Amino acid sequence: MTALARHIATPDTLRRRAMQALTEAVARALDSASEETLAAIVGAQDAREALAIAPRDLAPVPPERLAAERAARARTAGFRAELAERAGGMYGRAEVAELLGVTAAAIDKQRQRRQILGVPYGNEIRYPAAQFRDGAAVPGLKPILDALDDMNPWGQLQLLAAPLDGFGDAPASVFELLGRGVDADTRARLAALAAGWAA
């Protein structure tokens, strides 16, 4: 188990997130804009001036809403930190590439092919450590990820890290079971269980 991976933010990811944030902000500003403000935007000399004019009529966010949003973010962060701990910590892409002996680009492809699980974490994708053993993904993981299909990655992690009954003397998570090297019949049962979760 390692410490949480260091921050690795790619310019393309940041650019997409910035574009989304700006688009939403401009849309809210235009929804609130008076005809006078809209006319001023149209008559702006350049994009900088137009962006400065756009929020002129926006109402301030109520303090109680800001407090509620902060509380919600704190709950989400705490929940994700707990999941990360249950999953053995989180690797960054570069760490997984080194662990598996492949390139960082190959890690992206493996995630897209559902060979490994990656979850969005801030401006990057991180990888639960419990899905790796002896320099490879644990056997039987891909059929389970295939069965989970397009479920939210954090939802997948929650299911894969949750203790299950009926697979031994004590409850164990999917990650723990696969990490022990369970037989083919057990792996098939886990894949069928995952398909039921995704249904």
Q: How far apart are the C-alpha atoms of 80 and 82, rounded to whole Å?
A: 5
Q: What is the pLDDT of residue 32?
A: 81
The length of the chain in residues reads 199
Q: Which residue has the tokens 């990811």?
A: 13
Domain stop point among 59, 89, 105: 59
CA distances from 139 to 72, 99, 105 (A): 37, 16, 22
Q: What is the pLDDT of residue 7?
A: 38
Residue 101: which region, alpha, beta or left (left: phi > 0; alpha: psi -120 to 50)? Answer: left
Domain interval for residue 52: 1-59
Q: What is the pLDDT of residue 8?
A: 35
Q: Is residue 119 part of a domain?
A: yes
Q: What is the pLDDT of residue 147?
A: 95
Q: Is residue 64 part of a domain?
A: no
Q: Is residue 72 part of a domain?
A: no
Is-contact 58 29, C-beta < 8 A?
A: yes
Give all strands (DSSP E) within the chain, no chain letters.
Answer: 90-91, 119-121, 124-128, 132-133, 136-137
Query: Do 90 and 151 fall within a single domain?
Result: yes
The total number of structural domains in the chain stands at 2
Is-contact 41 53, C-beta < 8 A?
A: yes
Q: Is residue 1 part of a domain?
A: yes
Q: How far apart are the C-alpha atoms of 162 and 7, rounded to whole Å?
A: 26
Classify 156 as helix, strand or coil.
helix
Query: Do 108 and 175 fall within a single domain?
Result: yes
Q: How far apart are the C-alpha atoms of 88 and 73, rounded to whole Å?
A: 23
Per-residue pLDDT of the chain (199 residues; tens, 9 = 90+): 343 333 333 456 677 778 888 888 888 878 888 888 888 888 888 888 888 887 877 767 778 877 888 888 888 888 888 989 999 999 999 999 999 999 999 999 999 999 999 999 878 899 999 999 999 999 999 999 999 998 999 999 999 999 999 888 899 999 999 999 989 999 999 999 999 998 8
Q: What is the pLDDT of residue 177?
A: 95
Q: What is the pLDDT of residue 38?
A: 85
Domain stop point among 12, 30, 59: 59
DSSP β-ladder status, 90-91 and 119-121: unpaired
